[in-house]
Copies of this chain bind each other. A is one copy, B any other.
């Protein structure tokens, strides 16, 4: 048996593969952006070839590997390794056996899990959650997902879709629609996908902006960050509203799990310290005198590599 982990982080925008040590250090990596338009069998072939090239580059064979851990940005049947659906890969057939399709090219143990689970497990093993025993990881980027780690194990539920916390309803009479079809999901109010609708509302309410949005649909986490740097009125209002809903999400997680630690990650954390502070302020205002033991609320320590390291770390669960 080998001593190296192979991680594959299959995202909607970026596909990364890497060789990772048992200590969570990325030794070698390769990145692709042209996978999204391909049919699912071709993506598997692309991943196979990326892994082979990584091994070749280091003069290794698959015997050097403990296994392959991979993330999938969507709903999975975890035990069966089946990708059910993903908003990132709408062209893929439903119930695609993603794990076995990759595994048949190697003689290696292969695990495929949800990206939030893998990122959360990376924080637990190597990052901000080390030593916590149990923790939640909430990622806020295009959507919102939660990785639930209870006593050192990822909690996945019946099918494998536990932690789809972004779809919990926090504003039943909302006019902001989520990709799932419902209104008032947490992710519609606090993550990237809701930004166009939120910006539209703020513009209609008369807020001023220096940003040259051709259309509200162009609003993204990135241009909103630019706006923050310019102290833009509209962008500040958007960030504050998103932070308040994220704080409600954090609080709801607290009441459900009473966890010792919650780690926050994902692209919107780049909005900076004031955003993070407002999330925490909202949390503590709601928790009030119902918080009987200190809870650790911290930002991801791994950052950009969390997906890749998390994918690899799945082999250490």
Contact = CB atoms under 8 A, between A and B. Distances in A.
A164 B258 CA distance: 9
Nearest to A82: B292
A216 interface: no
A252 B161 contact: no
Given A170-B169, A170-B170, A292 B258 contact: no
B292 A75 contact: yes
Interface of A: 75, 77, 84-85, 134, 146, 148, 150, 155-165, 167-172, 180-182, 244-245, 248, 251-252, 255-260, 286, 288-290, 292-293, 295
Contacts of A258: 156-164
Contacts of A290: 75, 161, 164, 167, 180
A292 B159 contact: yes
A293 B84 CA distance: 11
A158 B260 contact: yes
Nearest to A285: B182
Nearest to A161: B258
Given A182-B288, A290-B180, A162 B75 contact: no
